[in-house]
Amino acid sequence: MKRHLLTIVDAVNDDGGMSGDQSVVCMNSNTMEGLAEPSENGDEDDAEAYFDEDYVVITGRLKLKAIGVLSTDDSLKDGEIAMSKMMRDNLKVKVTDKVNVHGIGNAKKADRIVVQPVAETMEGLRTGQDNLRAVFLEPHFKKYEDWSRPVWKGQIFTVRGGMGMEVMFKVAEVTDEDAIYVSMSGGLQTEIRIGPPISDDDALKAFNEVGYSDIGGLSEQLSKIREIVELPIRHPGLFQKIGVRAPKGVLMHGPPGT
């Protein structure tokens, strides 16, 4: 299986389109063409290509995996993949991190999934737990007519309902390990079951880290921190090779709030 190492950039939805949706990953045409899988006979003409609305598996540095729907964005550079913060949180990666990406040839529908709402996000919600499916989950999974949202065990996603209320869910179970998406159309719909609410401590413990992508307007300072702090940790041999003692730390100063 051919994998491609791509650099994460932030996805911004400023046109009402697919870009920025938590299920979508964007890349330019050249990068998408590069996902093509070679055929068994090695003939490039028979390679399995991937296009908009196909599915890809994304693997982060911690070996966590997520599934995304492809969308072309030719404003991106070669080798870049744009994804939402929710997708990055599921992978525990940050902007500028590298991820491995490979296409999914034969996507399989999930027969049944079990999702659990996060209790704290339901506070003040007039809709009872029994109505979460109709008010939040069904509109979420039915939003796009041309493709179905991907799903995987352990996935965290949010859904905005009426009056601006947003509820967070965690996928507790997917019946088939190799199932890729939730279908809400036709006669073979995915059965969605709602499990008991869970606390945000259980659901969000992987999301509590603050990274570079959460800090804005300090690109010069962040670049210096990367050079002084990260480089010695990730590449200690580099300093030994050139005979320079690695910095032991960094002193940050300035007005409060900076």
Domain boundaries, the chain: 4-103, 112-204, 215-242
Reported pTM: 0.75
pLDDT digits (tens, 9 = 90+) for 203-253: 876 555 566 655 767 778 888 887 787 777 777 777 777 877 877 777 888
Tell me how far apart the alpha carbons of residues 61 and 223 are, in angstroms, rounded to a whole number. Answer: 21
Distance, first Cα to last Cα, the chain: 46
Say yes or no to pLDDT of 84 above 80.
yes
pLDDT of the residue at 78: 96
The pLDDT of residue 202 is: 81
Place of tokens 């919600």: 125
Mean of the pLDDT values across residues 150-157? 96
* Average pLDDT score, the chain: 85
pLDDT at 257: 66
Average pLDDT over residues 64-73: 95
| R_g (Cα) of the chain, nearest Å | 21
Please tell me the class of the 4-103 domain. Answer: mainly beta
127 phi and psi angles, rounded to 5 deg = -75, 130
What backbone phi and psi angles, to 5 degrees, belong to 129? -60, -35
- 209, 215, 219, 220: CA torsion to nearest 10: -80
pLDDT above 60 (res 58): yes
Say yes or no: domain 112-204 is CATH 3.40.50.2030: no
pLDDT digits (tens, 9 = 90+) for 11-34: 876 544 677 899 999 999 999 999
Q: 32-47: per-residue pLDDT in tens? A: 999 987 766 555 555 6
In this prediction, residue 112 has a pLDDT band, given cuts at 50, 70 and 90, of very high
Q: How far apart are CA 28 and CA 31, in angstroms?
A: 5
Identity at 113, one-letter amino acid code: I
